[in-house]
Amino acid sequence: MDLEKQPPHSAAPAGPGGSLRASDADRDRVADILRDALAEGRLDAQEHGERIDAVYRAKTVGELEPLVRDLPAAAPAREPGPQRWNLPEGTGEPAEKLVAVFSATTRKGRWRIGRRTHAFSLFGSVEIDLTEALFTQRLTTISATSVFGSVDIRVPENISLRGNGTGVFGSFDVRNLEAADPEAPVVVVNGWAVFGSVDARPRRGKLIADLHARMRKHLGG
């Protein structure tokens, strides 16, 4: 096979430090590079989506490097070390944590959603409603874990929604959504559901919901 025709994110042997486990900050920095590449027209929407999905499946630094190898921000670092390419520094913003243990936790209304949110439910329920949230960055990652509980995520219809997770005697259901606007916010949901459920989907606008309610009432009458 002609190596020059292989996609830039195809598997490649890992160099020194390539087996180092990737952190959330590592994944976020690579996602930032991909976001900028999309904005500059270096990647189209499909390529961006494929690479973003791979970012949040990556377990090691070596798996992240090929995803940005062909992009300007990923120039190799001069000094050897575990991190083998120059990445923009993260904001240092801590992840928001929503925890429900034998209880219920809800986050909704007009609030600022950060870059990372961790939701954990153990015999409880977590509800995250983003329909009125303020997005101050393009990529938002929600890590959801449900053990004998539920994590429900609702997003507005004008964003892109993607997910990657596993249900173990449970349900992990993310309704993929692609916004018409290529610059629209992207929400990525990752995680596990063990004897529980993680559910993420768009919420219909209030006007549409009211029309359906009136139709049902009229037909029922």
Whose CA is closest to 7, among 67, 58, 64, 86? 67
What is the tens place of the pLDDT at every residue in 146-176?
999 999 999 998 899 998 888 999 999 999 8
pLDDT of residue 2: 43
* Residue 56: band (very low, low, confident or very high) from pLDDT cuts 50, 70, 90: confident
Mean pLDDT of 99-106: 95
What is the tens place of the pLDDT at every residue in 182-212?
888 999 998 899 999 999 999 865 444 544 5
pLDDT of residue 90: 43
Domain boundary assignment for the chain: 3-74, 96-205
Residue type at position 35: R
DSSP letters along the chain, please?
A: --GGGS-TTS-----TTTTSBPPHHHHHHHHHHHHHHHHTTSS-HHHHHHHHHHHTT--BHHHHHHHHTTSGGGPBPSS-SS--B--PPP--PPPEEEEEESSEEEE-SS-EE-SEEEEEEESSEEEEE-TT-EE-SSEEEEEEEEESSEEEEEE-TTSEEEEEEEEESSEEEE--B--SSTTS-EEEEEEEEESSEEEEEEPPPHHHHHHHHHHHHHHH-
What is each CA distance from 123 to 105, 107, 127, in whole angstroms?
A: 12, 18, 14
- Contact of 161 with 175, CB cutoff 8 Å: yes
**Which pair of tokens denotes residue 153?**
């995520």
Model-level pTM? Answer: 0.58
